[in-house]
Amino acid sequence: MADWVIVVDDDTSNLKMAGHILSRANMRVTALKSGQALLNYVKENGYPDLVLLDINMPEMDGFETLTKFRENADPDNETPVIFLTADENEESETKGLSLGAVDFIKKPFVPEVLTIRVRHIIDLNHLQKNLAKEVKKKTEENEKQFTRFVQSLANAIDAKDRYTSGHSQRVANYAVMIAERMGKDDDYLQVIYYAGLLHDVGKIRIPEGVINKPGKLTDDEFDSIRIHSVSGFHILRDIHNDERIAYGAKYHHERYDGTGYPNGLEGDNIPEIARIIAVADAYDAMASERSYRKVLPQAVIREEISNGKGSQFDPAIADIMLQIIDEDPSYEHRQQEAKTHSVLVVDDDKIVLRDVKRVLKDFEGLNVFDAVNTQEALNILSAESVDLILLDLIMPEKDGFEFFGDIRKEYDMPVILMTGDRSIETIEKINELHIDDYLTKPLNEAITCETVHGILHRKDSGV
Ligand SMILES: [Fe+2]
């Protein structure tokens, strides 16, 4: 499409001249006789690729026109403006440039100079816009990737503790809710989201036996739990250039009255991000299941948070949490019941079907369907909602690869291939077809469970 230039000048002969020169250079030209006409015109017809604007005009001069033109325009999509001037005046050049004009062109026009300058500035402006778009796209992609990485890490931390599934994600969500009510900007919300997800990352250093110990902890064991805040700080220092994320981990067990750990900081000396996470963390600990108890009733949590004001919690932040509780009459903000899943196992060998069912029988909340051939499998798929398919590779009527193709035409649930064939060709084909994973026969119980768990967990968390 031809580039579009608006020329604004009270002198008709100048308008004609500019129109003539630029049209010859294959540009589309609109000629207007006053600043006000320009302002009205762009409101109706949108913004051109460039504006040529006369400085000396009656009523509204070029400077005033440019100021008003910029006020109404989209700051991310600025139209370049070149001033037209009859005299060499340093003062007016300075004024024009400081108002955001990109160049000056002297009248009367030299056709080549006018064409080249206009073309050059339009091209440069297009290039800049494309570059800005590209940078924005890349930044968004990077942020998304970092978020996925942080969520995966948070899931890995939570998986260490049998009873804290989803804890980090919920703490992150509650922390964001609190920060929003404190009027924090988007940048802060992003940082506190990451800090919430990663506040317990130091648990990686605690032995699983201690984390999941059902009875009372010894002093040494309790110490090893306490170091998670410091370990987390050192792990997170290099993960992001915003140090508040690392502070969230280090100070989330400090108490407002100065009796917390690791440093016994008091009141506002505790970084704000950690004071918010402390409230979100305590709330979720009570609003989710533990090895020794169910989710606590909402009224009990309200009481605890209220009692902790000024001792455990920053009172202003605790008040916001109380407000969130009071606005949640149906108690939505708590650990939801574990989701149940359905798995379909397809294998022509009934012994394999029996073995898989035995392996998965202790898997909590898992429904297992089985099918001895592809037709049976299709019947189940059309009647039931299936979250995952375990599919045999070698079957009499159709091999697993071909049947996988049939499934993908209609369904998008993950598929695990089961095969006795460990050849590199088969493994390459599995990767090529983007089959989610594979298990080798004879199936190993622990590996089968971990694979099924990993894939279902990933599906649930949307990572
Ligand atoms: Fe913690």
Question: pLDDT tens digits for 345-402?
Answer: 999 999 999 989 888 887 778 899 999 999 999 999 999 999 999 999 999 888 999 9
CA of 290 to the centre of ligand 1 (A): 15
CA of 288 to the centre of ligand 1 (A): 15
CATH code: domain of residue 178: 1.10.3210.10
- Whether 252 and 373 share a structural domain: no
CATH code: domain of residue 21: 3.40.50.2300
The dihedral over CA atoms of 126, 130, 136, 139, expressed in degrees to the nearest 10, equals -140
Residue 273 lies in a domain: yes
- Whether 41 and 106 share a structural domain: yes
CA of 199 to the centre of ligand 1 (A): 6
CA of 291 to the centre of ligand 1 (A): 17
CA of 120 to the centre of ligand 1 (A): 59
CA of 107 to the centre of ligand 1 (A): 72
CA of 325 to the centre of ligand 1 (A): 22
- Whether 174 and 314 share a structural domain: yes
Q: What is the pLDDT of residue 291?
A: 72
CA of 281 to the centre of ligand 1 (A): 7
CA of 100 to the centre of ligand 1 (A): 52
CA of 252 to the centre of ligand 1 (A): 7
- Whether 305 and 414 share a structural domain: no
CA of 122 to the centre of ligand 1 (A): 56
CA of 164 to the centre of ligand 1 (A): 11
Cβ(244)–Cβ(139) below 8 Å: no
Residue 53 lies in a domain: yes
Residue 141 lies in a domain: no
- Whether 175 and 273 share a structural domain: yes
Domain that holds residue 386: 341-461
Residue 143 lies in a domain: no
Per-residue model confidence as pLDDT tens for the chain (463 residues): 789 999 999 999 999 999 999 999 999 999 999 999 999 999 999 999 999 999 999 989 999 999 999 988 887 778 999 999 887 778 888 888 898 899 999 888 888 999 999 999 999 999 999 999 999 999 999 999 999 999 999 988 888 876 677 899 999 999 999 999 999 999 999 999 999 999 999 999 898 888 888 888 899 998 989 999 999 999 999 888 899 999 999 999 999 999 999 999 999 999 999 999 999 999 999 999 887 788 999 999 999 999 999 999 999 999 999 999 999 999 999 988 777 899 999 999 999 999 898 888 877 788 999 999 999 999 999 999 999 999 999 998 889 999 999 999 999 999 999 999 889 999 999 999 999 999 999 899 999 998 998 898 888 776 5
CA of 185 to the centre of ligand 1 (A): 25
Residue where a domain stops, chosen among 133, 151, 178 = 133
Residue 92 lies in a domain: yes
- Whether 356 and 294 share a structural domain: no
Residue 148 lies in a domain: no
- Whether 115 and 178 share a structural domain: no
CA of 351 to the centre of ligand 1 (A): 46
- Whether 225 and 297 share a structural domain: yes
CA of 284 to the centre of ligand 1 (A): 11
CA of 310 to the centre of ligand 1 (A): 20
Residue where a domain stops, chosen among 293, 326, 359 = 326
- Whether 416 and 273 share a structural domain: no
Q: What is the pLDDT of residue 361?
A: 83
CA of 200 to the centre of ligand 1 (A): 5
Q: What is the pLDDT of residue 162?
A: 67
- Whether 315 and 230 share a structural domain: yes
Angle at 268 between CA 277 and CA 244, to 5 degrees: 45
- Whether 248 and 373 share a structural domain: no
Residue 155 lies in a domain: no
Residue 69 lies in a domain: yes
- Whether 173 and 309 share a structural domain: yes
The tally of domains found in the chain comes to 3
